[in-house]
């Protein structure tokens, strides 16, 4: 009996795949990505994103109440104003 590719995957299970973006493997992933993007059109922006993390729109402070303290969180795209 011959199994199809999908059946082989089911039989093999999902435990045999490597943890692709495990935090302990981030430096290895980052170095591979830097090598990959060297030939890309927007390499300067892409390298900045890998080295410094994704772009953030700033932070906003949510005032606290009598029982809770103020909270600082990242702004979302929807919260930006036309400038």
Digit-coded pLDDT (tens) for 22-39: 667 677 777 887 888 888
Work out the mean pLDDT of the chain and round it to a whole number. 76
E strand or H helix at 51: helix 43-52
Q: How confident is the model at residue 56 (pLDDT cuts 50, 70, 90)?
A: confident
Q: Which domain holds residue 15?
A: 5-79
Sign of CA dihedral 26, 27, 33, 36: negative
The total of structural domains in the chain comes to 1
43 versus 29: which is more confidently predicted? Answer: 43
Q: What average pLDDT does the segment 43-70 reach?
A: 83
């Amino acid at each position: 009996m011959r199994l199809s590719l999908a059946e082989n995957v089911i039989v093999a299970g999902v435990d045999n795949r490597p943890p692709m973006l495990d935090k302990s493997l981030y430096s290895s992933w980052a170095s591979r990505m830097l090598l990959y993007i060297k030939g890309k059109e927007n390499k300067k922006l892409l390298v900045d994103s890998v080295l410094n993390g994704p772009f953030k729109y700033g932070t906003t402070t949510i005032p606290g109440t009598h029982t809770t303290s103020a909270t600082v969180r990242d702004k979302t795209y929807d919260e930006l104003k036309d400038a």
